[in-house]
Amino acid sequence: MIDERKNSLKYNAAWILSVLLSITIITSANYSTGHKIQQSLTVLQETAPGIAFNGVIILADTIPPLKDSIIIKDSLTVKTGVANAVSDTVPLLKDSAAIKDSLSMQTDTVNLNLSKDSIDAPIVYQAADSVLFIVPEKKIILFSEANIKQSDMELSADNIEIDQSTDLVTAAYRRDSTGKMIGRPKMVQAETTMESDEIVYNTKTQKGITRQTVTQQGEIFVQGEKVKKISPSEFFAFRGQFTTCNLDTPHFAFRTKKMKLINQKLAVSGPIHPEFEGVPVPIYLPFGLFPISQGRKSGFLPPQVATNEQFGLGLQGLGYYKVLGDNFDVLLRGDVYSYGGWAAYFEPTYRKRYRYNGRMLFTLQHTRMISSDPKVDFTNSRTFNINWSHTVDAKARPGQSFSANVNAGSTKFNQYVLNNPMRNYNNSLNSSVTYSKTWDGKYNLSLSANHSQNNNLGLVSLTLPNLAFTANTLYPLQKKDFAGTPKWYQKLGIGLNSQVSNRIDFYDSLFSFRNIVDTLQWGAQHSIPIQLSLPSLGPLQVSPGINYQEKWYSRQFIRTYNPVTEKVDTSINKGFFTARDISFSLGLSTALFGKLDKFGKNSRVQAIRHTVRPSVSLSYKPDLARKDYDSLMLKNGYMTRVSRYEGSIFGAFSEGTYGGLSFGIDNNLEMKVKSKKDTGDAAIKKVRLLDGFGFNSGYNFIADSFKLAPFNLYVRSTLFEKVNITAGATLDPYQVDSLGFKRNKYAWQGGAFTPGRITSGNIAISTSFKSKPKDDKKDAATSNDALNDVTTPMTMEEQMSQLEYVRNNPAEFADFNIPWSVNLSYSLSFFRQFKRDYSGFETTVNSNLSVNGDFNLTPKWKMGLNTYYDFKSSSIQMLTMFISREMHCWQLSINVTPVGYYRSFNITVNPKSGILRDLRINRTRSFFGN
């Protein structure tokens, strides 16, 4: 018995050592049980066939056993071409040959014949508790937080069993004393991740069977009672279900008895039916086809049913999306209404990575709606709109750039767009196409075409081409190979700015080639600034300069008063005309600082800092434009001066000789406040009280009247880092008569003191408030997603389209993590201008208030509104409201527009997942008029 036991022990030890020498064993001697290698080997020597440790092993059953066990007295080193491992010293066995020196073996030089059933890749394993070797059965069992890796496969579970004889790996979970599942098996291979109650996997064939499995393919979760894996990318499932709900018991799913899944490509099932909250819906389909591949795919787009009293019953959004290549695709959509109206949309998109990308949207709209005129049954109108956006990567052609942002169409197009109150009130369209080139940072050429359109007046203006050339400041007195500090005269700089434009103005109702030719006018302007940077005179900075300007015109406008019609008649002279202007200036500027820090010890205010930046400029301008002005006698006998070039592309030079002083003062206020919570350097916080406030004006010593120029006042601030305020005003220091014309008499002369009259002004105030997020981690994740979206290249049209969709469907984008939020914006502007008959002045005032916000009625219900109030008309111009219901993987959204050009309401219930966005229940109705 003793001899048999010794022989058995010799065989087992030899088998283990042969395994160690044939592959690689890398051990850290780092065990949760606290045992050492030599203790485990001692147990193995005596009776036990198992060893507990962590490591890496390649199994092979073809290494012949040694005839006797090898006793390692000193440290054993086993080397491969990849890793080295050193085990602890092993005590001597009594019946073994002694090896006094250390043993070193090179496994990469041993020529071994491996059997066909050997595995082709190493298995890397680890466990938090222990690893048990069952040598006679050739099994390894990993306990607690077990993990193995082989090639691109990774398996983790509470316990994993590796059977070398069958090449099977079995993973399972366990339950704790409370019945909670611990260590549910999870397998990751290639792009597939699956979790199961049990996983049986063949390391050689890469096949396996799992039970109660869940795997995610994009946004879809696929569950199966039993799943068979036949390749790294193909699966068969028995009693499976598809869903986008990530719960173990999903709120909804599509159930089938059998299905096949091809990873990241396609899922096909047999007869299938939906269920909600575990209740089957009696809607059965003979088969199911779920495209789960990522990227662009061609296909049909389902329509949405809409109802409108003026347009009738309609289908909106019916179309087809076609991928024409890696760089090009086309979207065709259409709307059809029962009263005969329709709309067609053609939207191609193109892109070439690192070069350019763009999108175009051409819309043709045939409107047929019930007329508000009782004598006419229907109102018919055909309108169109074209949008084009194009951007070029800055790295594609350094020094050159091209961009396009086109938005043009019929003046009534926006009026007939349904369910879009923001667009219904957009009365202006603008376009720009620009190409620019830079040479060595010294010269810049820009070629552009611009378009502007006033939908209220029907007036269209085209500026094309528009050519601009700029030469940056050159220093002719400075040597080419200059080094060191330049002399003062070497800082003399000369620049050039030239621009040539061609403009066409016409009304869309009078569009014709003849009208285009009649309204065509061109012009040019040139500017040559000459500057000299002199050395500082102490705290003063002196900057002399000369500026020469010249303008070219193709038309003169001669205005005369007609006493019969009591209006001003305008005649046009065509030809080539020029005007010139020159000015000389000498500027002085400095900065003054003041500080107030006399506050009490217990005061939170530490100091207030005031910065004053005064500037004074002496300038002279001769009257070169006097010849271009005419005297105009108005209705009440008043005489005024008008320029022949007023209304031209680049406008007219001002009349009169100027020799005077321009002055201004800019200020800002800052405060240092001590925090209540922080200490040290972080305790002092700088707060901006006023970002800037001041004025500027001028005094003309040469003028015979009205020597003091109007004062321009301004202020801007961000109060408490929350409220943005921007305001400005123009103060006229002269008195006026009963018709509003200025008199050469200061406002403070001849009566009570008054600084003057405010002739124009504006103020804009905006702020936003919101509560703290319920979950800071979720809020941070949302911010990161938003940042990633921002960094993704998008055309301007794509950005505007997304913003427009968010505005029209706010309920779909409700953030329940923010309990409430409010955004306020107010603006006021007024100005005085000539009446249309030049008989006097009139003041125009515009004022409006914009409010939008939302709040949580309950943790799952949110309500919000967006409104625009116009004080001039004393009416609400637009009001939209929404209610949203959070339903985990589904959402309910209700959007109502009770006030607007079109009144509408929309109720939608749909899954949140983008892949099932067309699976929705929708009810939309809209009404025309107020």
Q: How far apart are the first and last CA of the chain?
A: 106
d(CA 363, CA 359): 13
d(CA 210, CA 235): 11
pLDDT tens digits for range 610-623: 999 999 999 999 99
Is residue 791 scored above 70 in pLDDT?
no
Q: Report pTM.
A: 0.64
Tokens at 382, concatenated: 């055909």
**Cα dihedral value 64, 66, 72, 75, nearest 10:** -20
Parallel, antiparallel or unpaired: strands 521-532 and 541-562: antiparallel
Confidence of residue 87 (pLDDT cuts 50, 70, 90): very low
The residues pairing with 758 across neighbouring beta strands, listed in sequence order, are 731
CA nearest to 134, candidates 114, 162, 110, 155: 162
d(CA 658, CA 666): 24
Residues 6 or more apart in contact with residue 568 via CB below 8 angstroms: 559, 560, 561, 562, 632, 837, 838
Helix, strand or coil, per DSSP, at residue 325: strand
State which H helix or E strand residue 34 sits in: none
**Residue 197 Rama label (left phi>0; alpha psi -120 to 50; beta):** alpha
Residue 799 is predicted with a pLDDT of 53
Residue 550 is predicted with a pLDDT of 94
d(CA 724, CA 764): 8
CB 713 within 8 A of CB 729: yes
Is residue 309 scored above 60 in pLDDT?
yes
Rounded percentage of the chain residues whose pLDDT exceeds 90: 27
Residue 123 is predicted with a pLDDT of 79
Burial of 317 (0-12, 13-18, 19+ CB in 10 A): middle
Residue 72 is predicted with a pLDDT of 33
pLDDT tens digits for range 33-74: 333 333 333 333 343 333 333 344 333 333 344 334 333 333
pLDDT tens digits for range 460-508: 888 888 999 999 888 888 877 777 777 877 888 899 999 999 998 888 7
d(CA 458, CA 409): 11
Highest mean pLDDT, choosing among 408-412, 644-648, 824-828: 824-828
Kindly write down the DSSP assignment for every residue of 151-191, as one continuous string: TTEEEEEEEEEEETTTTEEEEE-EE-TT--EES--EEEETT
pLDDT tens digits for range 496-545: 999 999 998 888 777 778 777 888 889 999 999 998 877 777 777 788 88
CA nearest to 296, candidates 315, 271, 324, 318: 324
Residue 421 is predicted with a pLDDT of 66
The residues pairing with 280 across neighbouring beta strands, listed in sequence order, are 275
Is residue 109 scored above 50 in pLDDT?
no
* Of 99-113, 674-688, 747-761, the least confident: 99-113
CA nearest to 170, candidates 190, 188, 152, 196: 196
Tokens at 924, concatenated: 């939309």
Provide the 8-state DSSP code for 646: T
Tokens at 115, concatenated: 């059997």
Residue 906 is predicted with a pLDDT of 84
Kindly write down the DSSP assignment for every residue of 624-641, as one continuous string: -SGGGEEEEE-TTS-EEE
What percentage of the chain's residues is helix, strand, coil (to nearest 5)? 10, 55, 35
Tokens at 366, concatenated: 């045939």
Chain centre distance of CA 681: 35
Q: Angle at CA 683, nearest 5°, toward 677 and 684? A: 140
CA nearest to 451, candidates 399, 500, 386, 525: 386
Tokens at 848, concatenated: 């409006």
Helix, strand or coil, per DSSP, at residue 801: helix
Confidence of residue 907 (pLDDT cuts 50, 70, 90): confident
Tell me the torsion sign for CA atoms 679, 681, 682, 686. positive
* Of 106-110, 169-173, 746-750, 823-827, the least confident: 106-110
Residue 3 is predicted with a pLDDT of 46
**Top-confidence residue, 786 or 706:** 706
Residue 680 is predicted with a pLDDT of 62
d(CA 186, CA 206): 15
Confidence of residue 201 (pLDDT cuts 50, 70, 90): confident
**Cα dihedral value 259, 262, 266, 268, nearest 10:** -10
Highest mean pLDDT, choosing among 55-59, 214-218, 429-433, 912-916: 429-433
Q: Angle at CA 72, nearest 5°, toward 70 and 75? A: 145
Confidence of residue 770 (pLDDT cuts 50, 70, 90): confident
Kindly write down the DSSP assignment for every residue of 66-129, as one continuous string: PSS-EEE-S--EEE-SS-EEEPPP-PPPTTSEEE-SPPEEEGGG------TTS-SS-EEEE-SS
N residues, the chain: 930
Confidence of residue 82 (pLDDT cuts 50, 70, 90): very low
d(CA 630, CA 622): 18
Please give the mean pLDDT across all residues of the chain: 79
Residue 263 is predicted with a pLDDT of 79
Parallel, antiparallel or unpaired: strands 521-532 and 492-507: antiparallel
Chain centre distance of CA 651: 39
